[in-house]
Structure 1
Amino acid sequence: MKRSTGVRMCATAAVGALSLALVTGCSSESDKKTDDTKASGSASASAAAPAATAKALAKPELEKLLLTQAEVKGYRVDDGDDTLPKSKAEVKTDKPACDPLAWSTAGLAPGDKDVSASNTIAAEPKDGAKDLESALQVEMTFVGLSSYDGDGAEKAMKAVSDGVKACSGGYRLTSEAEQDGKVTKVTADQGSAQGDETVAFTQSVDMDGQGTAQFRTEVVRKGNTVATFYTVNFADFGATKAAEIPAAVVQAQLAKIK
């Protein structure tokens, strides 16, 4: 799969089985190790632990917590049924410790849970967009929600945090369609300090031997619910800086989680 193919897929919002694998193109043979990963993510010093008796929400309950069109202005909200994987079976990496990173990016539960709900939230196209490039100058955020019994949400956050450290030198991933992607480096970022606990990280992804692109993911725990956010700018795949995750989307989504 050539990079141009990946761009066309993005243009039609066909992110497919795993957003990283299809959005960023196929792998190359180069690899780069790094020792400059910071302390994994950022957690609030006063992070509130969910009660030991906390019960996980079922999928219909999670779907009710996802943002709707009326709840976030300036964005178009769609379900993630056609653009995000439906289960973890569709997401494969070559390092088990990296699975939570790939799952978080794909809107799946990062912890020991298969049930999740997801949607896509895209900024409305700029007024006056007259060509494809202008129309593609939009950022889409993939949002995933998962819920856990007892301290499962805390364990999910730890799995992501540990993954940032363990996968600093990169990993490979494969979608169900057998299209490969290669993350060459993972670095910890400063989180938004929202919710009870936050882990944020940036992944450097090989662009079919034509340089690397940066993609940022943020995972936030609020009680026993975990929200994941991953933003892509369709017209800016070769950017040296990751697209910012819209603060308005994060704030609005967390406000719906009790």
Structure 2
Amino acid sequence: MKRSSGARLCATAALGALSLTLLTACSDEGSDDSKESTGSSSSSSAPAAKARTAAELEKLLLAQGDVKGYKVASADDTLPKSKSDVKADKAECAPLAYAMSGLAPGETEANASNTVTQDAAGTSSKAPKDVSEADIESAFKVDMTFVGLSSYDGDGAEKALKAVSDGVKACSGGFGIAAQGEKQKITKVAEGKASGTGDESVAFSVGSDMDGQGTATFNTEVVRVSNTVATYYTVNFANLETGKAAEIPTAVIEGQAAKLK
């Protein structure tokens, strides 16, 4: 992938938290032939707790220093602000599109999100004119994970996980997404190997058409901890050329799960 001189500015600004705008420029979502999904699947025997508010979820998101080697940033400028900004051309695929966008995969208004990016040390303080080609390559070789939290009344969290699991099967042949003014063609959806974190977890990968320049692959995992659901969607810009999917960092999943317990 050729990068113009403007990439120097983008790389410098993006080292702390690479933007979705940059991702869109390279193409968006993606797929893989990952192995089977599902982690632990259990139903809570205790009475369902009342859903947490969006403000409470904001406080439960990973913060700077919670996960060593990663930088945490607000998702205000990178992720869609509401479900109205994300449209799937098949209703059964909407929960997958939402999970990949840091939005609630189920029916709730309680939602919060941020980005957790692998720390690319040594270049974020450089002026644009001092950023070398090697610095730019390093900036693109980091994993960036979009983390979303949502909370539900009653059995809403269980229903959200089921909607994702059902969507993985129903949407295996692909679907279309329109988000923030950009259209994206998902060519394939496959079950993935879930981490087994929390009370229940589902993983999937998607193959994303790169405007006729091949297919990129991306992984997503959805984890339920009691009545709160966490979604993780990881990208690595350097991998866009290879089609190889970035793995969702275990440290990020475990760190976020620990804050939800």
Which residue of structure 2 lines up, in the alignment, with residue 254 of structure 1? Answer: 257
Alpha-carbon shift at residue 114 of structure 1 (Å): 2.8
Relative to structure 1, the CA distance from residue 167 to residue 10 in structure 2 (aligned partners, 3 Å threshold; closer, same or farther) is farther
Q: Establish whether residue 220 from structure 1 lines up as the match of residue 233 from structure 2.
A: no
Relative to structure 1, the CA distance from residue 26 to residue 64 in structure 2 (aligned partners, 3 Å threshold; closer, same or farther) is closer
Task: Report the AA paired with residue 38 of structure 2.
Answer: S
Relative to structure 1, the CA distance from residue 197 to residue 26 in structure 2 (aligned partners, 3 Å threshold; closer, same or farther) is closer
Aligned-partner Cα distance in 2 for 1:217–1:37: 11
Structure 1 unmatched ranges of 5 or more: 28-35
| 8 Å Cα contact 2:140/2:237 also seen in 1 | yes
| 8 Å Cα contact 2:98/2:105 also seen in 1 | yes
Alpha-carbon shift at residue 10 of structure 1 (Å): 7.7
Alpha-carbon shift at residue 79 of structure 1 (Å): 1.0
Q: Establish whether residue 164 from structure 1 lines up as the match of residue 168 from structure 2.
A: yes
Alignment TM-score, normalising by the size of structure 1: 0.85
Relative to structure 1, the CA distance from residue 96 to residue 24 in structure 2 (aligned partners, 3 Å threshold; closer, same or farther) is farther
For residues 109-144 of structure 1, the C-alpha deviation after alignment (integer angstroms, 9 at most, x for no partner) is 000113210010111115578431122211111100
Alpha-carbon shift at residue 49 of structure 1 (Å): 2.2
RMSD (CA atoms): 2.7
Number of equivalences = 242
Relative to structure 1, the CA distance from residue 49 to residue 238 in structure 2 (aligned partners, 3 Å threshold; closer, same or farther) is farther
Relative to structure 1, the CA distance from residue 83 to residue 3 in structure 2 (aligned partners, 3 Å threshold; closer, same or farther) is farther
Which residue of structure 2 lines up, in the alignment, with residue 125 of structure 1? Answer: 120
SS in 2 for 1:60: helix
| 8 Å Cα contact 1:26/1:208 also seen in 2 | no
| 8 Å Cα contact 1:3/1:25 also seen in 2 | no
1:43-192 matches, within 5 Å, as: 43-45=39-41, 47-49=42-44, 51-126=46-121, 130-177=134-181, 179-192=182-195
Alpha-carbon shift at residue 240 of structure 1 (Å): 2.8
Relative to structure 1, the CA distance from residue 173 to residue 3 in structure 2 (aligned partners, 3 Å threshold; closer, same or farther) is farther
Structure 2 unmatched ranges of 5 or more: 124-131
Alignment TM-score, normalising by the size of structure 2: 0.84
Fraction of identical pairs, as percent: 54
